[in-house]
A and B are shown apart, each in its own frame.
Chain A
Amino acid sequence: DQQVKQNSPSLSVQEGRISILNCDYTNSMFDYFLWYKKYPAEGPTFLISISSIKDKNEDGRFTVFLNKSAKHLSLHIVPSQPGDSAVYFCAASARGTSYDKVIFGPGTSLSVIP
């Protein structure tokens, strides 16, 4: 059973508009959440993260929101650019436990249309 879910396999957005990628998780032990970005023929690269003690973290055009009660997080990209077209993986971990590994969701493929 998937512990990290991304229910939208793909998303298309116009350049300049906002992209919102969603993620849900089931394991209440998770206390650290990450987003990775992956271009074709490359490995995933770290984008942004958030600890469970926060509900928002911002880095330039990228903002991650966390709703612990709903076990939901989202990544906002504003404004979207064609270079943002990639697969985005949501991920989670339970730090400081024996479960010290990162679990990834299946990914959402974002296409930003010029």
Chain B
Amino acid sequence: DAGVIQSPRHEVTEMGQEVTLRCKPISGHDYLFWYRQTMMRGLELLIYFNNNVPIDDSGMPEDRFSAKMPNASFSTLKIQPSEPRDSAVYFCASSLRGGYGYTFGSGTRLTVV
């Protein structure tokens, strides 16, 4: 298995633009998580899905953030409009069972200028 695949690896965009981050989980994993890493807050859970259904989005910072999982092999995290404070590394992770630990992707480094 190729692991959790995220794209793009790096994204630089101007403030106000729409940004879409993509994730392909490991085949057969029922859980998918989106995390954001910043210096101040470490690894912060944004939202997670179980069997493609959003379970907890309490970590999504604002209405500008949205996430979808249209099928078991694909998820997106969208920021519209983007702001400089959204600059961070965004990780996607997947697992067979929610609380037992995950496999992470390599992350997307987002820079909003």
- Interface, chain A (partner B; CB < 8 A): 32, 34, 41-46, 49, 89, 91, 93-97, 99-107
Contact = CB atoms under 8 A, between A and B. Distances in A.
Contacts of A93: 98-101
Interface of A (DSSP majority class): loop
Contacts of A97: 99
Nearest to A44: B104
Interface in B58-105: 91, 93, 97-105
B4 interface: yes
Contacts, number: 66
A57 to B, nearest CB: 13
Contacts of B4: 43
B91 A94 contact: no
B42 A100 contact: no
B100 A32 contact: yes
Given A106-B41, A107-B42, A107-B43, A42 B99 contact: no
Given A42-B106, A43-B105, A101-B33, A32 B99 contact: yes
B97 A100 contact: yes
B34 to A, nearest CB: 11
A17 B49 CA distance: 42
B56 interface: yes
